[in-house]
Amino acid sequence: MKSILVTGGAGFVGSHTCKALAAAGYCPVTFDNLSQGHESAVQWGPLEIGDILDHDRLGDVFAAHDPEAVIHFAGSAYVGESVIDPGKYYRNNVTGSLTLIETMLKAGVNRLVFSSSCATYGIPDTLPILETCEQKPINPYGYSKLVVERIMRDFGRSHSLQSIALRYFNAAGSDPDGDIGEDHDPETHLIPLTLDAASGGTPLTIFGDDYDTPDGTCIRDYIHVTDLAEAHVRALNAIDDHDGFEVFNLGTSLGHSILEVIDMVNTVTGLKVCYETGARRPGDPASLVADPSKAQNQLQWRPRLSGLEDIIRTAWSWRQSVQDTES
């Protein structure tokens, strides 16, 4: 069985991708420092505990497993924190990715799929966003992802690195079989916080209702994590179809406002989300919606579970199962 090294494989998108890799006949080897990820999410292959900044440890893991490619998720991913502590983001995301790329090339591995972000676009001039739109990130997190894309492109020219960057829009939902789910600490994402507010937890604060959108709240393109996972397998299988660096948006082309998310949570749970309206969150674009046609055409990728109802239904099932286990 072919091994694939999955950095950050114990995290949210990483663990769902390990499940998809195993279903496609690969052996996912998770490399994770468990600072954010969960050992319990590593269910489809071995776990190697280590940090991408540690090239000796990485080198040992390449030697032990002889992977044929790397899917790279490990990194820091809180936009707000990146503004307060940019050094952490440039170190973990940029230096960490550079260390990984140099180590993999030294080990003779030259295929890489990278978890990038729509945060590299900043505030877009036009919607939906195409891969060719200008990238002008507005926070260190987005810059760190953009720099890694640039490193990948440059190493494609200098060292024959074959790489694909996948620019996710808003990853959400949970494994429909209930094996794994979203479990961030701290949790900052809209859908888990809205589910929490529906079940009697902290009321949701809507960050601004005076945006230039139909109902005044921000619009995002929510994409189910299982659909994201499948796109990684497709990207891996297509990695030799081009020379050097390629990039794909992963979204649905449909945006939903925060009030639409709240309405759907009310419908799916049968409960009532308690919310209030607060100030805008700095750095939030009004609307982010993908044009995913390149991934559809070149990877034959189609989101299957990314209707808002499916996203919220699977996230809600996961949340209830975790609560049942805890109680």
Binding region for ligand UFG (CB under 6 A): 77, 79, 117-119, 141, 170, 188-190, 193, 204-207, 218, 220, 258, 281, 284, 288
Shortest distance (Å) from residue 211 CB to ligand UFG: 8
Nearer of residues 104 and 195 to ligand UFG, judged by Cβ? 195
| CA-closest candidate to residue 227, choices 267, 171, 146, 166 | 171
Shortest distance (Å) from residue 261 CB to ligand UFG: 8
**Within a 10 A sphere around the Cβ of 13, how many other Cβ atoms?**
22
Nearer of residues 103 and 170 to ligand UFG, judged by Cβ? 170
Shortest distance (Å) from residue 73 CB to ligand UFG: 12
Shortest distance (Å) from residue 95 CB to ligand UFG: 19
Shortest distance (Å) from residue 248 CB to ligand UFG: 16
**Within a 10 A sphere around the Cβ of 260, how many other Cβ atoms?**
16
SS3 244: coil
Nearer of residues 10 and 204 to ligand UFG, judged by Cβ? 204
The DSSP call for residue 136 is B
Residue 14 contacts residue 33 (beta carbons within 8 Å): no
**Within a 10 A sphere around the Cβ of 203, how many other Cβ atoms?**
12
| CA-closest candidate to residue 246, choices 236, 254, 256 | 236
Nearer of residues 90 and 207 to ligand UFG, judged by Cβ? 207
Please say if 141 is a catalytic residue: yes
Which residues have a Cβ under 8 Å from the Cβ of 67 and sit 6 or more positions away?
2, 3, 4, 5, 29, 109
- Supply angle C-alpha 318, 4, 118, rounded to 5: 60
Residue 218 contacts residue 287 (beta carbons within 8 Å): yes
The DSSP call for residue 304 is S
**Catalytic site residue from 26, 141, 143, 211:** 141
Nearer of residues 44 and 211 to ligand UFG, judged by Cβ? 211
Active site members? 141
